[in-house]
Structure 1
Amino acid sequence: MKTPRLLAVLLLILASLNSCTKDSTDVDSVIGAWYGRSQFEGLARSGAVSFVIDGKAYVGLGTDGTDKYTDFWQYVPGTNTWKQLAPFPGVGRYQAVAFAANGKGYVGTGYDGLNRLKDFWEYDPATNAWARKADFGGSGRYSAVAFSINEKGYVGTGYDGNYKKDFWQYDPGTDVWTQKPSFGGNKRLGAVAFVANNEGYICTGLDNGTYQTDNWSYNPTTETWTEHRKLEGTATNGTGFDFSAVPRAYGVAFTIANTGYVTLGSKDTQLLSCWAYSPTDDNWYQKTDFSGASRTLAVAFGLGDYGYVGLGVGGSIRYDDLWKLEPATDVD
């Protein structure tokens, strides 16, 4: 009579041990801890921009749903403090783009509530001053993406009345925009971009209401686009991986140590999930969900070993909080 009961106990123990085996997509293996940091000192907003220079973050523009802001702020992670800077001299706007190159920040495009914009501006942190530069080489637009590689900026996709996939390089040394081979995937708005291993990645976003499931990298040396693993489930791509939770619109991305991170945004509902992309094995790894409220149109940036996410809008609520991700910290 005791043998069946003993066997059942042994089977339960084995099942428990097997459940401890971790895979890159298992919930049990999810690591990363989010910590609240000093609240953004400006007004709550969505659709702001950010860039990083010399270990400091710069955040500004955006909207509260009515007003379009021009104020700009510097965040210093070492002291966890904010400092107000010279205001952006262009018209207030949201869903613009920004990048840093040659020790200066660049901000342009976006929407002022009436016009899709193409003006571009340079911020010099040494003098705390702005200067107007050559207009963006493409059409006026909003909800595009931008990144910088080798001290040159790149801007593409977005919406100018139509969905776009053109791609442009900006050279700060000559103040010239040059059109490059168009983005390899579909047209889109609300995508995200990050840089890893000296290549720029663009993924997620919407094309005519359809959430995009491709992931592409751009090599500035060869001027070529390469498609990577699809953001789909096993039933679709047969890879044994399910990354169907990654696609979204109006999320944010940042880079830590040649790994790209994607979080927030929406896909039918607003999301908290956070995913890390490793170009080494073309694989996505789930991280701990964002600890703040779900939202879209936030800002994000990587500083050292950590990522930072803040601001944005959830429903009718605009946020002014800031959160730090420690990607290697086990919350357990």
Structure 2
Amino acid sequence: MSPGDIIENVTYNELVRSSKECRPILHRARKAILDTQTNMFSQYTFCNPLTHPRLPTAYLLAVGGWTNGHTTNEIEAYDIRANCWFSVAENDEVPRAYLGTAIFNGSLYCIGGFDGAEYFNTVDKFDLGTNTWQEVAPMHTRRCYVSVTVLDEFIYALGGFDGEDRLKTAERYQPSTNQWTLIESMNEKRSDASCTTFHGRVYICGGFSGDECLRTAEYYNPQTDQWTMIASMSSRRSAIGVITYANHIFAIGGFSGTSRLHTVEVYNPCTGTWHNMPSMLMPRSNFGIAVIDNRLFVVGGYQGFTTTSEVECFDVETNEWSAICDMEISRSALSCCLVYKPGL
């Protein structure tokens, strides 16, 4: 309920107006709603019993990207309960597109990317409790079109483009020591790929080698510091979305070298095979991807002629895609991640 609804439907209600007990409750409720709208991720919001959310247990964040011919630093959040997007906070950070993001220990990390002129090796950390930004240790290499994921106590940054070459190098960041360490390089150069984790391994699929869009995929074993090739996808996919969902690895959309894709294929690590799944409602590349409330969401992206604000989700139980609320701004080259709310 919005403050406007409270004013119209509650404040002037005769029963409420005549009750001394109701007035302080109404005042606290209005203050709580206003505080929630102005500072969505404050500690007050999480701890106040009036604003402490029951469901969902997480928000989906859409960070950065390319919109209206320029990069953006806009961060939007999706509330699955209300099926709506809202702007989290304005910030003075350098706008980034083709970045990677990760949530670790209550902070959002924005990694690498491109501002239209410069390719970044820098990493910015946003504390979701205090709403403050801090620059942390930079990567060893500038990485635009970078693939980022979290496994155990590390944030991994794989491949990308440094402004001159497509990269096969990879590194990982340990927040507790604020240090990046190079790991074994991948078998192939990959920019515009996408990665995920499954059973203690990091999987990366597709991308662009500098010569062609890739259908290959491989995984990293941190115990042995080795990369191993797996079965190739049926389609070449650059600017792809890859995520673990329903005990499988989903490879979604992307660019084949000739067209944007709406097709989906899924890898079963137990059998080492790929199979097709229902296609998205629309083709898209360079989109955000996340799993929340046991549904797989794809966010924004590029359709081949324009960026989009459209969002859709896949439910493995119904085996269907459905459209949901659009973002407030149209963007591609964004990155998505989940914020799990403390205390839930």
Q: Could you state the TM-score of these two structures normalised by the residue count of structure 2?
A: 0.72
Are 2:317 and 1:315 equivalent residues in the alignment?
no
**Structure 1 residues 1-332: aligned runs within 5 Å:** 55-138=58-141, 140-160=142-162, 161-183=164-186, 185-231=187-233, 244-245=234-235, 247-267=236-256, 268-291=258-281, 293-330=282-319
User: Hey, what's the Cα distance between the residues in 2 that align with 1:318 and 1:331?
Assistant: 24
CA deviation after TM superposition for structure 1 residue 196, in Å: 1.3
Counterpart secondary structure, 1:210: coil
Query: Relative to 1, partners in 2 of residues 1:73 and 1:182: Cα closer, same or farther, differing over 3 Å?
Result: same
Q: Deviation digits for residues 204-248 of structure 1, max 9, x if unmatched?
A: 1111232223211112233222221133xxxxxxxxxxxx23x21
User: Hey, what's the Cα distance between the residues in 1 that align with 2:172 and 2:105?
Assistant: 14
User: Hey, what's the Cα distance between the residues in 1 that align with 2:57 and 2:101?
Assistant: 16
Amino acid at match of 2:72: Y
Query: Relative to 1, partners in 2 of residues 1:329 and 1:59: Cα closer, same or farther, differing over 3 Å?
Result: same
Amino acid at match of 2:115: D
Amino acid at match of 2:169: D
Query: Relative to 1, partners in 2 of residues 1:137 and 1:304: Cα closer, same or farther, differing over 3 Å?
Result: farther
Q: Answer whether contact 1:256 1:304 (CA < 8 A) is retained.
A: no
Amino acid at match of 2:80: P
Please, which runs of 5 or more residues in structure 2 have no aligned partner?
1-55, 322-344
CA deviation after TM superposition for structure 1 residue 331, in Å: 5.0
User: Hey, what's the Cα distance between the residues in 2 that align with 1:260 and 1:69?
Assistant: 30
Please, which runs of 5 or more residues in structure 1 have no aligned partner?
1-52, 232-243
Amino acid at match of 1:164: L
User: Hey, what's the Cα distance between the residues in 2 that align with 1:322 and 1:230?
Assistant: 28
Count of aligned pairs between the two proteins = 264
Amino acid at match of 1:301: A
Q: Answer whether contact 2:70 2:116 (CA < 8 A) is retained.
A: no
Query: Relative to 1, partners in 2 of residues 1:162 and 1:306: Cα closer, same or farther, differing over 3 Å?
Result: same
User: Hey, what's the Cα distance between the residues in 2 that align with 1:331 and 1:93?
Assistant: 33
User: Hey, what's the Cα distance between the residues in 2 that align with 1:76 and 1:65?
Assistant: 25
Amino acid at match of 1:286: N
Identity %: 22
User: Hey, what's the Cα distance between the residues in 1 that align with 2:305 and 2:320?
Assistant: 31
Counterpart secondary structure, 2:70: coil
Q: Deviation digits for residues 140-163 of structure 1, max 9, x if unmatched?
A: 231111111013100011111111
CA deviation after TM superposition for structure 1 residue 326, in Å: 0.4
CA deviation after TM superposition for structure 1 residue 329, in Å: 1.5
CA deviation after TM superposition for structure 1 residue 54, in Å: 5.8
Amino acid at match of 1:253: V
Query: Relative to 1, partners in 2 of residues 1:176 and 1:319: Cα closer, same or farther, differing over 3 Å?
Result: same
Q: Answer whether contact 1:255 1:307 (CA < 8 A) is retained.
A: no
CA deviation after TM superposition for structure 1 residue 285, in Å: 2.2
User: Hey, what's the Cα distance between the residues in 2 that align with 1:74 and 1:175?
Assistant: 27
Please name the residue that 1:9 is paired with. none
User: Hey, what's the Cα distance between the residues in 1 that align with 2:287 and 2:144?
Assistant: 15
Query: Relative to 1, partners in 2 of residues 1:147 and 1:279: Cα closer, same or farther, differing over 3 Å?
Result: same
Q: Answer whether contact 2:205 2:242 (CA < 8 A) is retained.
A: no
User: Hey, what's the Cα distance between the residues in 2 that align with 1:277 and 1:89?
Assistant: 40
Amino acid at match of 1:194: T
Amino acid at match of 1:258: N
Q: Answer whether contact 1:255 1:301 (CA < 8 A) is retained.
A: no
Higher relative contact order (CA 8 A, sep 6+): 1
Amino acid at match of 2:274: W
User: Hey, what's the Cα distance between the residues in 2 that align with 1:221 and 1:198?
Assistant: 9
